[in-house]
Amino acid sequence: MKIIEARVIVTSPGRNFVTLKLTTDEGLVGLGDATLNGRELAVASYLTDHVCPLLIGRDAGRIEDTWNYLYKGAYWRRGPVTMTSIAAVDVALWDLKGKAAALPVYQLLGGRCRDAATVYGHANGETVDEAVEQVGAYLRAGYRAVRVQAGVPGVAGIYGVGGHGQPYEPAVAGLPPETVWDTAAYLRHIPDLFAAVRDKYGFDFHLLHDVHHRLTPIEAARLGRDLEPYRLFWMEDPVPAELQEGFRLIRGHTTTPIAVGEVFNAVWDCRQLISEQLIDFVRTPVSHGGGITHLRRILGLAELYHVRSGFHGATDLSPVCLAAALHVDVSIPNFGLQEYMAHSAETDEVFPHSYRFEDGALLAGEEPGLGVDIDEEAAARYPYRAAYLPVNRLRDGTVHSW
């Protein structure tokens, strides 16, 4: 089975998505998500200008070989643009292999280890009361795990807060907006949020919180300790993770579990974090981490060190990525939890899919391949619009991690 066409589709049904579409001489179509929030067109160009021409005439069945050809053959290794591009090819090839074999992708990955992937939803509110209310809505909808984010008094534009009960979407149309950050105010406020949630709903479900890379190791150690009474499932991205050994300091002070890795793109970004057991969950998504092939390598290493999966699943990862994640989720022994932010109706219209939410979990589709399609006519109705993630500054104007 040979690839005869490789094409990139950029569409913006509510937000931007980049999709690679491969077609074979047998008329099969494979899809891969190539969306890199705020840098979409860089990946579109990498694929269109430098990768698609190399795919024409290739044997679509040679997934591992193609991965190595694109990774080693480029000479320039790793990085989000390269690894998102390789991931899109890899996922499209798994989709094709499933369709050629008339099997859902999880069957090719060894078959089910579980029936469905338990997910966590996003409760948020500008105030503690609003956030507590939203947690209740998720519990009533059947979720067994909820991430909670809330506004911090005196700090406008806090990460993860949509405002007035709206779902949160971090990318903003136009040039990057700027937000202000105050570590001391945040550290004072967040334990009260979790005290209020546990006080109202008890301990019989999982709670999570995303720090979004804003603290230093010693600040993160303090937060982890302050949150211990509320038994979090994880504290996410407590510090920027370039300095992997920095996590020793956090780990030495708190038993609050740590999840990291939504911005990682290769096993090398988390080798030390995993092998020194400095984290509990790895969050690298299929679409930024070199695809199913490379993500399985990361999770294979993680399994040896009691680290579980907690794949990123924000709205900037398309339904193609979410479907791929679900096939991995149900087929690996060390699954932890899957993030789930439901996509907009426009996004679902462009990407019809067979995965579905039921009883706090997502079920991977049973169709051959990934079980996701792209409606190109609908996609064409939503042209690309420039949009960026915010830039963060301290009160004195210093640029801070967002």
Contacts (CB under 6 A) with ligand KDG, residues 342-381? none
Contacts (CB under 6 A) with ligand KDG, residues 249-278? 262
By CB under 6 A, residue 33 contacts ligand KDG: no
From the list 46, 106, 138, 159, the catalytic residue is 159
Neighbouring residues of 243: CB distance < 8 A, sequence distance ≥ 6: none
Total chain residues near Mg ion (CB under 5 A): 2
| Residue closer to Mg ion, measured from CB, 209 or 343 | 209
Place of tokens 């007035």: 164
Contact predicate 252/278, CB 8 Å: no
Neighbouring residues of 19: CB distance < 8 A, sequence distance ≥ 6: 8, 9, 10, 11, 31, 32, 33, 34, 35, 88, 318, 320, 374, 379
Residues in contact with ligand KDG, shown as a per-residue x/- string from 200 to 239 under the rule CB under 6 A: ----------x-x---------------------------
Q: Say what angle helices 319-329 and 80-101 make with each other, to 10 degrees.
A: 70
| Residue 40 contact among Mg ion, ligand KDG, none, beta carbon within 5 to 8 Å by kind | none
Total chain residues near ligand KDG (CB under 6 A): 10
Which of 19, 154, 143 is CA-nearest to residue 92?
A: 19
Closest residue to Mg ion in the complex (CB) = 210
Residues in contact with ligand KDG, shown as a per-residue x/- string from 45 to 84 under the rule CB under 6 A: ----------------------------------------
Q: Which two tokens stand for residue 61?
A: 């069945």
Place of tokens 């024409």: 56
| Residue closer to ligand KDG, measured from CB, 194 or 234 | 234
Half-sphere exposure of 223 (CA within 13 A, CB side): 30
**312 classed as catalytic:** no
Helix (H/G/I), strand (E/B), else coil: 215: coil
Neighbouring residues of 300: CB distance < 8 A, sequence distance ≥ 6: none
Return the range that interacts with Mg ion (CB under 5 A); candidates 12-20, 124-132, 262-270, 326-334.
Answer: 262-270
| Residue closer to Mg ion, measured from CB, 244 or 331 | 244
| Residue 339 contact among Mg ion, ligand KDG, none, beta carbon within 5 to 8 Å by kind | ligand KDG
Q: Provide, rounded to whole angstroms, the least separation between the CB of residue 262 and Mg ion.
A: 5
Q: Where are the alpha helices (DSSP H) in 252-383?
A: 271-275, 291-304, 319-329, 345-350, 376-380
From the list 189, 206, 209, 212, the catalytic residue is 212
CA distance 230 to 30: 44
Return the range that interacts with ligand KDG (CB under 6 A); candidates 216-224, 311-319, 342-350, 380-388.
Answer: 311-319
Q: Exactly one of 8, 91, 128, 314 binds ligand KDG (CB under 6 A); which one? A: 314
| Residue 170 contact among ligand KDG, Mg ion, none, beta carbon within 5 to 8 Å by kind | ligand KDG
| Residue closer to ligand KDG, measured from CB, 43 or 96 | 43
Return the range that interacts with ligand KDG (CB under 6 A); candidates 91-99, 309-317, 329-337, 344-352.
Answer: 309-317
Half-sphere exposure of 342 (CA within 13 A, CB side): 17
CA distance 252 to 351: 45
| Residue closer to ligand KDG, measured from CB, 170 or 336 | 170
Torsion angle (degrees, nearest 10) of CA 195, 201, 202, 203: -90
Which of 53, 90, 96 is CA-nearest to residue 71?
A: 90
CA 332 to chain centre: 17
| Residue closer to Mg ion, measured from CB, 262 or 367 | 262
**212 classed as catalytic:** yes
| Residue closer to ligand KDG, measured from CB, 40 or 367 | 40
| Residue closer to Mg ion, measured from CB, 135 or 259 | 259
Question: What residue ranges in 98-197 does DSSP mark as E strands?
Answer: 117-125, 145-150, 172-173, 178-181
Q: Which two tokens stand for residue 115?
A: 């029936």
Half-sphere exposure of 173 (CA within 13 A, CB side): 7
Contacts (CB under 6 A) with ligand KDG, residues 150-209? 170
Q: Exactly one of 339, 360, 370, 374 binds ligand KDG (CB under 6 A); which one? A: 339
By CB under 5 A, residue 210 contacts Mg ion: yes
Instruction: Return the H-helix or E-strand segment holding 223.
Output: helix 217-227
Return the range that interacts with Mg ion (CB under 5 A); candidates 20-28, 173-181, 199-207, 257-265.
Answer: 257-265
Q: Which residues contact Mg ion (rule: CB under 5 A)?
A: 210, 262
Q: Which residues contact ligand KDG (rule: CB under 6 A)?
A: 37, 170, 210, 212, 262, 312, 314, 316, 339, 389
